């Protein structure tokens, strides 16, 4: 099972760059992805969200995250949104509620959705060191395991 905690925005951008170089059909065929319907928008172009995230996982860990390792399109979309990307869900997944229940009523008769929200601190994700040759995340030693 793939965990995506090591995938950073830089890994996603590297996957987007590879997609742009290869073209969509070759990119999807090379990594064995079918169009999923969830789309990532970046600099005026659209990309398949699951394929980009699967390849970004490869850049981060050295192992491709396959279609079977995703918990549906919404999982990939949520991860990419956390990395600061604009992502849209496929029409079949919209309105699914992301697996959450309906709004709960808070004390005072207000729903949880209508309560004023506190401003939260933006979490800043520290980018790991990346090998300039193969674009893999460097281990703690700072020496690439692949390139040496």
- Per-residue pLDDT of 67-94, as tens digits, reads 788 776 688 888 999 999 999 887 665 5
Structure tokens at 137: 């995340």
| 48 backbone dihedrals φ, ψ, rounded to 5° | -70, 120
Task: Categorize the per-residue pLDDT at 109 as very low, low, confident or very high, splitting at 50, 70 and 90.
Answer: very low
pTM of the model: 0.61
Whether the CB-CB separation of 88 and 42 falls below 8 Å is answered with no
| Domain ranges (residues) in the chain | 1-91+128-140
């Amino acid at each position: 099972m793939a965990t995506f905690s090591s995938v950073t925005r830089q890994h996603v951008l590297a996957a987007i760059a590879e997609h742009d170089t290869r073209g969509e059909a070759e990119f999807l065929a090379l990594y064995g992805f079918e169009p999923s319907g969830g789309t990532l928008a970046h600099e005026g172009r659209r990309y398949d969200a699951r394929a980009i995230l699967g390849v970004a996982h490869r850049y981060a860990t050295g192992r491709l995250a396959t279609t079977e390792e995703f918990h549906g399109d919404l999982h990939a979309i949520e991860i990419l949104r956390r990395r600061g990307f604009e992502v849209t869900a496929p029409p079949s997944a919209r309105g699914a509620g992301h697996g959450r229940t309906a709004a709960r009523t808070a004390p005072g008769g207000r729903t949880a959705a209508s309560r004023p929200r506190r401003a939260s601190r933006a979490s800043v994700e520290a980018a790991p060191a990346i090998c300039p040759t193969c674009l893999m995340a460097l281990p703690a030693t700072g020496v690439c395991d692949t390139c040496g």
